[in-house]
Amino acid sequence: MSRRVSCLLAILLSSSVGAAAAAPRVITGIGEREAGRLFPAAPAEEPAPEPAYVAPPPAPAAAPLPARAPIAAPSPPVPAYVAPRPAPQPRVVTARAEPPVAPGAYGGGFIELLVTGQTPEPQPQARRRVAALGAGEANVQRQIDPVFFRTEVDYAGAEHPGTIVIDSENKFLYLVQGSGRALRYGIGVGRPGFTWAGVKSISRKAEWPDWTPPGEMLARRPDLPRHMDGGPANPLGARAMYLGSSLYRIHGTNEPYTIGQNVSSGCIRMMNDDVADLYDRVHVGTKVVVR
């Protein structure tokens, strides 16, 4: 029986090797017992154990958010205080009272008086009026007539543009512009007996000029200062324009309230603002006509 079974198996294996690899094994004529011995059944696979359920850890309790303070509404901006602009005031110059002036002593025009070598009246009219006031009335104000403020006007003269023309009688200085126009400035001129006329040219210019009296003048007037530095207290004021080789000049003044008067011994005085304006507009060599 065993030999017989072995032969059958050999035949089957040799004839159907390929089929045996692909097809399921079918053996006929073999008892179940023999088949079970020859082809033991594969052990049944045990089912894989199901994984034990692990509950996820509880989430940590969230910390409570701090309560936010309510946002206050922004306060409206406080407008910046702007002081109102003061109303424009007329130009007023204070005439400073001084003690009575002794004969031979002079005010802001004493330089002009000295260089002429003559003995003029000791005080201009305005200074005499101030000196005559009582102590309680010493601080007086003299408003400069607006007609003497710097302005541009029509001009009918025949002088070339850039020429300076001085109208001593009416107390005006003209800087000819051309096309029938001129700049006009108020001035102070020589008192009676000290006016002059002629044609000069600017020979030198100086800002805040100082003044040193010559030796012959000091010999005649030993009370004079040996030197006066330029500055607000200097009678020549902020600017000076020297006229030729003469002792005359166009200059500023520390007494602006004297503009429009006969106050000097021949020099032409101007308010400091005006003389600075003229100074910047002219040059050395500018022609000056004095009438």
Of these residues, 7, 160, 251, 283, which one is catalytic? 251
Q: Are 140 and 133 in contact (CB under 8 A)?
A: yes
Q: How far apart are CA 247 and CA 102, in angstroms?
A: 25
Comparing CA positions, the residue from 151, 125, 130, 155 lying closest to residue 140 is 130
Residue 107 CA: distances (Å) to CA of 47, 122, 234, 254:
134, 8, 11, 10
Active-site annotation holds for 227:
no
Q: Are 242 and 202 in contact (CB under 8 A)?
A: yes
Q: How far apart are CA 189 and CA 167, in angstroms?
A: 9
Of these residues, 7, 160, 227, 267, which one is catalytic? 267
Element (H, E) at 114: helix 110-115
Element (H, E) at 2: helix 2-15
Altogether, the residues listed in the chain come to a count of 291
Tokens for 38, please give them.
């020859």
Q: Give the contacts of 61 (CB within 8 A, at least 6 positions apart).
A: none
Residues paired with residue 207 on neighbouring β-strands, in sequence order: 239
If one counts every other C-beta atom within 10 angstroms of the C-beta of residue 216, the result is: 9
Q: What is the largest CA-CA distance in the chain?
A: 182
Active-site annotation holds for 251:
yes
Q: List the catalytic residues.
A: 251, 267
